[in-house]
Amino acid sequence: MKKFLKEIFSGTELIGTINLISGLIMALLWSYFSSRWWSAAFGFLAVFFLVEAVWHYILTDYLRHIHKHRQE
């Protein structure tokens, strides 16, 4: 059970980190190409990836809280 929970935590944190990095890259691309009409896609993807990153970090913290509460 411990190994399973450890894998869940590391997996959600890893996905959140990848989403955070992707969102920052998309935001940089969007700001660089802001004069082009198609840069709106980069802006949309940046917001999407950043929201997903926050969601995965919140989920990881929630799962840790539940796991810690069950151990006590």
Residue spans of the domains in the chain: they are 15-71
**Per residue in 24-72, pLDDT tens?**
999 999 999 988 888 899 999 999 999 999 998 888 888 877 877 777 7
- Report residue 22 CA to chain centroid gap: 9
pTM for the whole thing? 0.75
The amino acid sitting at 66 is: I
What's the CA gap between 14 and 64, in Å, rounded?
Answer: 15
Distance of CA 19 to the CA centre of its chain: 4
Task: Output the CA angle 39-42-44, nearest 5 degrees.
Answer: 110
